[in-house]
Amino acid sequence: MPPRSQGDDDSSDPQSSDKKSSDKKPKKRKARKKASRKRAAAKAAPASSSTEVDVRKPVVAVVMGSDSDYPVVAKCIETLEEFDIPYEARVISAHRTPEKAHKFASTARLKGFRIVIAAAGGAAHLAGVMASLTTLPVIGIPILTTTLGGADSLYSTVQMPGGVPVATVAIGKAGAQNAALLAAEILALNDDRLHDSLQAFRAAMRRKVAEKNARLREMIADQG
Ligand code: C2R
C-alpha cells in the first residue's frame, strides 16, 4: 500500500492505511492479525511495492517522534487495522520539526481526523504539543528508553498541566495496543459496528483466559 499524505508536503514519512473488509469477528482474528502484520510491514516498505489505492479518509492520526519508535507503534497500527479503522501514520517531532508539528496539529481536525495518537520517547513532548494545538482527543504512547526505562517518556507525556489533556497509556507495546483500543472505543461512541467488534474482541480475550486457566489447572493436576 502506498504511503498517503493529507496534502502535507512531506511524502517521505507517512504510512497510511485504508482498510478493506467489514466483518471483524473474533474467530477470524488470528488469520487477519497475520495479514494485518504483513500489511503494516508493507506500509513501512517503499511505496512502489504496491498498487493498492487508498479510498477512505483516515480518522486517526498516528504520529511518532522518530522512525526508531516504529517497532512499538507497529502494535498500534496493527490493532487499528484489526478494527478496520482508517489511519495515517507519520514521523513528526515537536523538537526537531516544530513548524511541521504545529501545522499538522493545528489542521488535523479540519483534515477530518478525529483522534491523534502520539508516540515519543525520552523528553517526549510530542503528545503535549499536539494536544496544545488541537481540541481533538490526544492519546500519548510513552516509548521505552534504554537509559531510563521509559520513565522519562511516561512522565513527560502524562504530567500535562491542567487544561491540556493527554490520555497517556502504558509504556511500550501494551500501551501501543491500548492506544488503538482507546481510539476504537472513542470512535465506537458513534459507530455500532465498531462497538460490536470491540465486544467481540473482549469475548475472545475472555475465551483465551479461560483456555489458559484450563491448561494451567490440567498441568498442575498432572504434576500432582
Ligand atoms: P532517534 O532514534 O531519532 O534519535 O529518536 C523519539 O520519539 C525517539 O524515541 C530518539 C527519540 O527521540 C524522540 N523524540 C521526541 C520528540 N521528537 C523525537 N520525544 C518530541 O518532539 O517529543
Reported as a single tens digit per residue, the pLDDT across 159-186 is 999 999 999 999 999 999 999 999 999 9
Calculate the alpha carbon distances from 141 to 118, 119, 209 in Å: 6, 4, 26
Mean pLDDT for the stretch of residues 112-133 = 98
Over residues 128-136, mean pLDDT:
98
Share of the chain above pLDDT 90, in %: 75
pLDDT of 55 reads: 77
Query: Over 50: is that where the pLDDT of 2 sits?
Result: no
pLDDT of residue 207: 97
- Give the DSSP letter string of 89-139: EEE--TTT-HHHHHHHHHHTTTTT--EEEEEEESS--HHHHHHHH--S-EE
Q: What is the pTM of this model?
A: 0.80
Give the model's confidence band at 224: pLDDT under 50 very low, under 70 low, under 90 confident, else very high: confident
The CA 65 to ligand 1 mean position distance, Å, reads 4
Q: Please say if the pLDDT value at position 14 is more than 70.
A: no
Residue 56's pLDDT band (cuts 50, 70, 90)? confident
Q: Is the CB of 5 under 6 A from ligand 1?
A: no
Q: Is the pLDDT of residue 54 over 60?
A: no
Rounded to the nearest 5°, which phi and psi values hold at 71?
A: -55, -35
Is any atom of ligand 1 closer than 6 Å to the C-beta of 159?
no
172: left (phi over 0), alpha (psi -120 to 50) or beta: left
Distance 100 CA to ligand 1 centre (A): 15
| CA 23 – ligand 1 centroid, Å | 37
Mean pLDDT rounded to a whole number for the chain: 86
Residues facing 121 on adjacent strands: 143
Residue among 67, 69, 76, 155 to mutate when testing ligand 1 (max atoms within 8 A of CB) = 69
Cα–Cα distance, 10 to 89 (Å, whole number): 12
What is the structure's pLDDT at 219? 95
Where do we find the cell 494545538? 133
- The CATH number given to 60-191 is 3.40.50.1970
